[in-house]
Amino acid sequence: MRRGWSWFRSWPTWAQATAWIVAAVMIVSTLADEGDDEVVSAQPAVHATSTLPGPASTGSTTSTTESIAPTTTSTVVATTTTTPDLLPPAPPAADVVPLDLLGQLIVAPEAESATYDRDRFSHWIDADGNGCHTRCEVLAEERLDSLPGLAGGGWLSTYDGYSTDDASELEVDHVVALSEAWRSGAWSWSDARRRDFANDLDHPGALTAVTAATNRSKSDRDPSSWQPPNREAWCGYASDWVSTKVRWGLSADDAEVRALTNMLNGCGPVLRAVPPMLPAPAPAPTPTLDAPPAAGGCHPSYPEVCIPPAPPDLDCGDVSHRRFAVVGDDPHRFDGNDDGVGCES
């Protein structure tokens, strides 16, 4: 280094001056390039604060700021105009009050039609082919993880408030009994529609697991002659009865509607969702009583069962049927209290 400096000092004065000038020019040029890099990298900061008034600057700086601002504004506007409007949220579904559903019932006397045949309501079926038929599906749906006194879970029979972990103590009840449905309009249905009614898993109020004792006590009676012994179940039971009849287009007689009204007074909104009402079946002829049968046939006074006319005179001990409809002259006097139901015990 020392030798290089001595060698430089040996140059003529004009050569040394020229070298110093060239070096100075190169240094200035380098510093200018670094300054330009800083201006470029700082441009985003200028862009971010371009809406605020800034200090005085050179003409070139002012020009740069003006060229950025329009671009930023244009981008924001484009983004805003291409964003679709958001739809307002759907209003919550209104609660259904059971007393309001009563107004949708078809009020009519029960039909005195051809003989009721339980086999026309095919059940239980495995509709989805999963190896679990309708009774099995109801038991699975209604099983609770825990109950007072049953830490391992079980079932609550709402009709009487009885809890059990033994499914064999339970029967799956059609809330609207099959023969009640028959008298309320199902007599005119196709067998396929009767099957669907008897296995209706889409409406949680159509089927329920209850103790065998309460199911048999209820039998095919409507709310005018039977209510759950557990009064806390009245609101749910009456709501399920009404919604099932509305869903399937079944009728209710005057006494039935009066009883339902009394049961539903003071009840809150329905706790179960009510599925849509199903399409009405094709019209069918008006039902009529069977013609008088030939000797040994079925007497028309007992439209739900087949009991031959007298003679011989029969009593309830001679037949296996219980709680069947009695109309007309009742030749065997099965309806001792004239309430329209034969062999009640």
Same domain for 40 and 152, yes or no, is no
Q: How confident is the model at residue 41 (pLDDT cuts 50, 70, 90)?
A: very low
Same domain for 165 and 307, yes or no, is no
If you average pLDDT over every residue of the chain, what do you get? 75
Task: Decide if pLDDT at 19 tops 60.
Answer: yes
Q: Give the pLDDT of residue 291.
A: 42
Does 66 reside within a domain? no
Task: Decide if pLDDT at 232 tops 90.
Answer: yes
Does 273 reside within a domain? no
Does 193 reside within a domain? yes
Q: Give the pLDDT of residue 342.
A: 82
Same domain for 119 and 257, yes or no, is yes
Does 274 reside within a domain? no
Which residues constitute the domain of residue 5? 1-49
Q: Give the pLDDT of residue 88.
A: 38
Does 55 reside within a domain? no
Q: How confident is the model at residue 337 (pLDDT cuts 50, 70, 90)?
A: confident
Does 156 reside within a domain? yes
Q: How confident is the model at residue 43 (pLDDT cuts 50, 70, 90)?
A: very low
Taking only the tens place, the pLDDT of each residue in 195-219 is 999 999 999 999 999 999 999 999 9
User: Higher pLDDT residue, 121 or 97?
Assistant: 121
Over residues 304-315, the mean pLDDT reads: 82
Same domain for 244 and 318, yes or no, is no
Task: Decide if pLDDT at 287 tops 90.
Answer: no
Same domain for 294 and 190, yes or no, is no
User: Higher pLDDT residue, 92 or 235?
Assistant: 235
* pTM for the full predicted model: 0.56
Does 30 reside within a domain? yes
Residue after which a domain boundary falls, among 247, 264, 281: 264
Same domain for 102 and 224, yes or no, is yes
Does 172 reside within a domain? yes
Over residues 161-165, the mean pLDDT reads: 97
Half-sphere exposure of 57 (CA within 13 A, CB side): 13
CB 274 within 8 A of CB 246: yes
Domain count for the chain: 3
